[in-house]
């Protein structure tokens, strides 16, 4: 079982405490179990009162409104030493730069396809490729202004990029609220450990969004477009809009007139320049994409293509974070930047290739198989945790539509001590740092650490029972 | 600000105010029910309570008889009654949640906290065990929500729309409360036959009007203002015309006007004119004239005008037809 030999973030194999955790570990040893239980209860209470909840698709309360749930929060932080973070940060910046260069290229000259580094049909036959974007010039040639890159640590402690999230990555509000909660519950911990702050993220984000306003707009009006309060990430939308002091708008609040986007206000229409949209491409303009969408703004795409409004992220970024494109990211880095990749990819089998498919079908019990367009941990198979029947069913699906799947070796994701029913036990974690790209690339140290709370589970998604932890980058 | 945001803020305030006033009305009815009275009188009281909120048809559709228990259940926790305290507090919270970026964290947490605690109290059956304590709690949460609004929110449009919602709703509710006697009685003309009279015809009336005063926290104020026995005419004067009485119609409409001025836009002239006219009538009106035309018909007309103002505010600010 993977858990037995996984790299533990706090303890070395000989049970000694790793250096970055020493301060925390000695502090924890001084706390009584009872005091810690009270603190954990307090955290739950505060999260509920503050309304830091997420809506669950499909679930309904007795009164018919959607169910709101707390994402379990674990009070043991995940700690990253400064030197390790510096390496990670450099690798993430490099990766996102290359991904943005790829997006610009693939909607313009397509040099990387012509050079033969990526098969052209991989791009053009992909439903995430948006022909509408071909030849459209976006501000600063940036497509993914906000990227969430999922990173895991495996083997002897080396980092791998598990996936890139370049469309509407979420989770940053939990990163910020987790820190706020830790500082509230354990102020003395922060006096003893030099933890790099993250609270200025909304400032960086606003600055980033302002920097990509359409040409000629000096004082841009920035808004955040949400699908509405029943969306699972609504808390985050409202939180970020408030932190940045911008309007939180729904599709119905916006309209297109005279080749510009406006919002309906109590004093009449007001021009909008930058839209931080948290709605998928498919729903953003019923005239251009799904006509049954009531969430979007009719006519938005034509204003966007004319360069008279900025969408962050751009339309069509899905072509770069698609799991079938993922294996080519190291090639992108070399092609566009002329550099060696600083962060490793997980070796990936593309099931659309005959040899790969045969290998995958032979090795299903050891592999993780994912849907190419899937997200949120839905529709995936974790071989070592699956029953015989589950594997057999999955193999049938795989044979029926191999193009739809990729497979990767089951990584022994690193573990971090975590509060569970029986006390403290190691649980698998990942990390989602957020990379902001505009006129420059900015980041806050750390990111969101997600933890799989079920013993042995490798699925950290909140929709699948995952929790979160505060993520500390130590300043020294 | 966004029209949709203004709309949510306006209704957030209206719903919490409505919950408070429902609690106040139920509370006054509970206290009068403690007086020695016949079964018919008791039933009339509960019927009046439902009548002033225009809820009799909805109640009759769900319950065969009028009983204290059923009316309380209907008005407190029935999710099918859009005016139940449960629905009002839930709607206030849902409206707050829709615009939590436009209100302070404290305002949001107050509404969210109220809603969470409500579920606990309903689960513990507090309204059944100790209704008066429950109504006190509702009033208190409404006080907290107003206080946190004034104490933490920037005095900008968002604030003015919240305040407009509060006072428009309160004007409506105070008028309905004053009109309650009409809905219960067969014939109320004799109640105000002699507005100058110092005495009161029988004990029942004293307790009734004292309860009305208490329900709007005005019993002590009445004593201070009039230093005299309680007469229906003075109660009416206090709750309609006294500009310094915070729940009076004059006071509420004055606040509506002040906040309306602050958010004035290109299409709100006529709404301001109508609100201003109503304010002037309340400021310079005399209770003798109001009682002369009949209190019920006066209040009915007043409710129509408040309703008109609410509709006009929606039209001018909240759902503007922006695309031409």
Q: What is the pLDDT of residues A27-40, one digit of tens each?
A: 999 999 999 999 99
What pLDDT score was predicted for residue A376? 61
Q: Which residue of A has its CA nearest to B2?
A: A265
**Is the Cβ–Cβ distance between A152 and A325 less than 8 Å?**
no
Q: What is the ipTM of this complex?
A: 0.77
**Domain range annotation of chain B:** 1-153, 155-319
Domain that holds residue A156: 2-346+411-473
Instruction: Give the three-class secondary structure for A104.
Output: helix
The answer to whether A262 contacts chain B (CB < 8 Å) is: yes
Q: Which residues of A touch B79 (CB under 8 A)?
A: 63
| Facing A48 at nearest CB: one of B4, B99, B116 | B116
Question: What percent of chain A stands above pLDDT 90?
Answer: 76
A117, part of any domain: yes
What pLDDT score was predicted for residue A375? 62
Question: What percent of chain B stands above pLDDT 70?
Answer: 91
Cα A343 → chain centroid: 17
| Facing A266 at nearest CB: one of B3, B100, B323 | B3
pLDDT at B190 over 80: no
User: Angle at CA B98, nearest 5°, toward B95 and B103?
Assistant: 85
Dist CA A203 CA A220 (whole Å): 15
Asked if B105's CB is within 8 angstroms of A50's CB, the reply is yes
| pLDDT band, very low/low/confident/very high, at B215 (cuts 50, 70, 90) | confident
A207, part of any domain: yes
Asked if A255's CB is within 8 angstroms of B322's CB, the reply is yes
What would the pLDDT profile of A231-266 be if each residue is shown by its tens digit?
A: 888 999 999 999 999 999 999 999 999 999 999 999
3-state helix/strand/coil string of chain B:
CEHHHHHHHHHHHHHHHHHHHHHHHHHHHHHHHCCCCCHHHHHHHHHHHHHHCCCHHHHHHHCCCCCHHHHHHHHHCCCCCCCCHHHHHHHHHHHHHHCCCCCCHHHHHHHHHHHHHHHHHHHCCHHHHCHHHHHHHHHHHHHHHHHHHHHHCCCCHHHHHHHHHHHHHHHHHHHHHHCHHHHHCCCCHHHHCCCCCCCCCCHHHHHHHHHHHHHCCCHHHHHHHHCCCCCHHHHHHHHHCCCCCCCCHHHHHHHHHHHHHHHCCCCCHHHHHHHHHHHHHHHHCCHHHHHHHCHHHHHHHHHHHHHHHHHHHHHHHHCCCCCC
Which 8-state DSSP code applies to residue A168? S
What would the pLDDT profile of A79-136 be if each residue is shown by its tens digit?
A: 999 999 999 999 999 999 999 999 999 999 999 999 999 999 889 988 899 999 999 9
pLDDT at B244 over 90: yes
Structural domain count, chain A = 1
Dist CA A308 CA B254 (whole Å): 45
Q: Which residues of A touch B109 (CB under 8 A)?
A: 49-51
Residue B271 has φ and ψ, to the nearest 5°, of: -65, -45
A75, part of any domain: yes
> Which residues in A41-55 are b (16+ Cβ under 10 Å) and which e?
eebeebbbebbbbbb
Asked if B112's CB is within 8 angstroms of A51's CB, the reply is yes
Which 8-state DSSP code applies to residue A8? B
Token output for B236:
């009416």
Burial of A141 (0-12, 13-18, 19+ CB in 10 A): middle
What pLDDT score was predicted for residue A62? 45
Asked if B4's CB is within 8 angstroms of A264's CB, the reply is yes
| Facing A266 at nearest CB: one of B6, B97, B100 | B6
Token output for A394:
């999955």
CA atoms within 13 A of residue A109's CA, in its CB half-sphere: 8
Residue B160 has φ and ψ, to the nearest 5°, of: -65, -35
What pLDDT score was predicted for residue A52? 80
Instruction: Tell me the shortest Cα–Cα distance from A51 to chain B, in angstroms.
Output: 7
What pLDDT score was predicted for residue A416? 96
A145, part of any domain: yes
Token output for B322:
């922006």
Asked if B263's CB is within 8 angstroms of A268's CB, the reply is no
Token output for A321:
């974070």
Burial of A61 (0-12, 13-18, 19+ CB in 10 A): exposed
**Is the Cβ–Cβ distance between A345 and A160 less than 8 Å?**
yes
Does residue A313 have a cis peptide bond before it, meaning omega lies within 30 degrees of 0?
A: yes
pLDDT at B213 over 70: yes
| Facing B100 at nearest CB: one of A65, A238, A257 | A238
What pLDDT score was predicted for residue B42? 80
Dist CA A308 CA A215 (whole Å): 8
| Facing B322 at nearest CB: one of A65, A239, A264 | A264
Mark which residues 263-282 of B lie under 8 Å from A by CB: 263, 265-266
What would the pLDDT profile of B35-64 be if each residue is shown by its tens digit?
A: 777 788 788 888 888 888 889 999 999 998
Asked if B101's CB is within 8 angstroms of A248's CB, the reply is yes
A358, part of any domain: no
**Residue A104 CB neighbours (<10 A):** 18
Dist CA A368 CA A360 (whole Å): 9
Residues lower than pLDDT 50 in chain A:
1-4, 59-66
Asked if A50's CB is within 8 angstroms of B3's CB, the reply is no
What pLDDT score was predicted for residue B31? 80
pLDDT at B194 over 60: no
Dist CA B254 CA B283 (whole Å): 9
Helices B203-215 and B157-178, axial angle in degrees (round to 10) = 170
Interface test with chain B among A45, A48, A50, A51, by most B beta carbons within 10 Å: A51
Dist CA B260 CA B224 (whole Å): 32
Dist CA B16 CA B89 (whole Å): 6
Dist CA B108 CA B95 (whole Å): 10
Token output for A351:
């099931």
Asked if A247's CB is within 8 angstroms of B3's CB, the reply is no
Asked if A49's CB is within 8 angstroms of B116's CB, the reply is yes
Torsion of CA B133, B136, B142, B143, to 10 degrees: -130
Global pTM reads: 0.86
List of residues 6+ apart from A262 with CB closer than 8 A = A254, A255, A256, A269, A270, A271, A272, B322
| Facing A263 at nearest CB: one of B2, B79, B98 | B2
Dist CA A161 CA A415 (whole Å): 17
What pLDDT score was predicted for residue A408? 93
What pLDDT score was predicted for residue A60? 47
| pLDDT band, very low/low/confident/very high, at B198 (cuts 50, 70, 90) | very low
What pLDDT score was predicted for residue B321? 45
Q: Which residue of B has its CA nearest to A242?
A: B101
Asked if B98's CB is within 8 angstroms of A229's CB, the reply is yes
Asked if A252's CB is within 8 angstroms of B116's CB, the reply is no
What pLDDT score was predicted for residue B203? 59
Instruction: Give the three-class secondary structure for A21.
Output: helix
Q: Which residues of A touch B101 (CB under 8 A)?
A: 238-239, 241-242, 247-248
């Amino acid at each position: 079982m993977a858990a037995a030999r996984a790299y533990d973030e706090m303890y070395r194999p000989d049970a000694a405490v790793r250096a970055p955790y020493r301060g925390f570990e000695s502090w924890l040893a001084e706390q009584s179990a009872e005091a810690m239980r009270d603190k954990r209860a307090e955290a739950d209470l505060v999260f509920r009162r503050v309304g830091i909840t997420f809506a669950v698709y499909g679930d309904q309360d007795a009164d018919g409104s959607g169910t709101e749930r707390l994402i379990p929060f674990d009070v043991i932080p995940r700690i990253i030493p400064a030197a390790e973070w510096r390496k990670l940060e450099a690798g993430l910046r490099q990766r996102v730069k290359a991904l943005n260069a790829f997006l610009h290229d693939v909607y313009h000259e397509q040099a990387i396809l012509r050079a033969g580094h990526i098969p052209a049909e991989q791009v053009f036959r992909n439903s995430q490729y948006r022909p509408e974007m071909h030849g459209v010039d976006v501000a600063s040639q940036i497509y993914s202004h906000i990227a969430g890159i999922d990173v895991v640590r495996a083997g002897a402690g080396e980092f791998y990029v598990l996936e890139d999230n370049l469309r509407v990555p979420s989770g940053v509000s939990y990163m910020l609220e987790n820190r706020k909660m830790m500082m509230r519950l354990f102020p003395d911990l922060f006096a003893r450990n030099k933890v790099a702050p993250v609270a200025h993220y909304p400032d960086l984000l606003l600055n980033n969004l302002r920097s990509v306003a359409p040409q000629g707009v000096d004082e841009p009006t920035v808004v955040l477009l949400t699908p509405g309060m029943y969306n699972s990430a609504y808390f985050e939308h409202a939180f970020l809009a408030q932190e940045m002091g911008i309007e939180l708008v729904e599709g119905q609040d916006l309209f297109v007139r005279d080749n510009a986007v406006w919002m309906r206000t109590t004093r009449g229409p007001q021009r909008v320049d930058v839209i931080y949209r948290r709605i998928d491409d498919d729903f953003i303009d019923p005239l251009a994409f799904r006509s049954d969408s009531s969430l979007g703004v009719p006519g938005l795409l034509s204003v966007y293509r004319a360069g008279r409004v900025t969408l962050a992220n751009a339309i069509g970024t899905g072509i770069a974070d698609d799991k079938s494109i993922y294996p080519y990211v190291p090639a992108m880095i070399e092609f566009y930047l002329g550099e060696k990749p600083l962060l490793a990819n997980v070796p990936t089998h593309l099931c659309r290739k005959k040899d790969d498919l045969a290998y995958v079908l032979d090795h299903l019990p050891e592999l993780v198989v994912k849907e190419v367009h899937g997200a949120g941990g839905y529709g995936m198979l974790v071989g070592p945790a699956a029953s015989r029947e589950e594997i057999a069913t999955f193999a049938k699906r795989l044979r029926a539509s191999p193009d739809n799947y990729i497979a990767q070796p089951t990584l022994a994701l690193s573990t971090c001590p975590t509060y569970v029913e029986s006390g403290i036990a190691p649980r698998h974690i990942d990390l989602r740092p957020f990379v902001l790209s505009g006129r420059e690339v900015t980041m806050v140290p750390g990111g969101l650490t997600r933890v799989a709370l079920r013993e042995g589970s490798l699925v950290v998604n909140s929709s699948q029972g995952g929790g979160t932890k505060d993520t500390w980058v130590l300043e020294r | 600000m966004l029209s949709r945001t203004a709309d949510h803020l306006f209704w957030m305030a209206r719903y919490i105010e409505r919950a408070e006033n429902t609690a106040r009305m139920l509370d006054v009815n509970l206290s009068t029910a403690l007086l020695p009275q016949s079964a018919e009188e008791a039933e009339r009281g509960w019927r009046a309570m439902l009548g002033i909120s225009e809820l009799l048809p909805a109640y009759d559709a769900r319950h065969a008889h009028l009983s204290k228990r059923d009316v309380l259940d209907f008005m407190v926790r029935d999710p099918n009654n859009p005016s139940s305290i449960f629905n009002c507090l839930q709607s206030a919270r849902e409206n707050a949640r829709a615009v939590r970026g436009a209100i302070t964290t404290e305002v949001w947490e107050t509404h969210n906290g109220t809603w969470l605690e409500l579920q606990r109290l309903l689960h513990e059956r507090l309204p059944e065990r100790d209704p008066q304590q429950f109504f006190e709690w509702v009033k208190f949460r409404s006080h907290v929500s107003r206080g946190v609004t004034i104490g933490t929110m920037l005095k900008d449009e968002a604030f003015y729309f919240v305040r407009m919602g509060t006072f428009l709703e309160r004007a409506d509710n105070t008028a309905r409360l004053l009109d309650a006697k009409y809905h219960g009685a067969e014939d109320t003309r004799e109640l105000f036959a002699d507005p100058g009279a110092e005495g009161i015809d029988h004990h029942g009336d004293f307790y009734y009007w004292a309860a009305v005063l208490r329900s709007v926290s005005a019993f002590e104020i009445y004593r201070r203002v009039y230093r005299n026995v309680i007469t229906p005419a003075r109660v009416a004067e206090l709750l309609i015309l006294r500009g310094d009485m915070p729940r009076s119609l004059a006071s509420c409409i004055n606040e509506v006007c002040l906040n309306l001025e602050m958010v004035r836009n290109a299409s709100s002239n006529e709404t301001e004119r109508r609100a201003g006219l109503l304010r002037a009538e309340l400021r310079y009106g005399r209770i003798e004239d109001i009682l002369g035309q009949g209190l019920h018909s006066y209040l009915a007309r007043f409710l129509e005008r408040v309703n008109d103002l609410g509709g006009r505010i929606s039209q001018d600010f909240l759902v503007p037809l922006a695309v031409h």
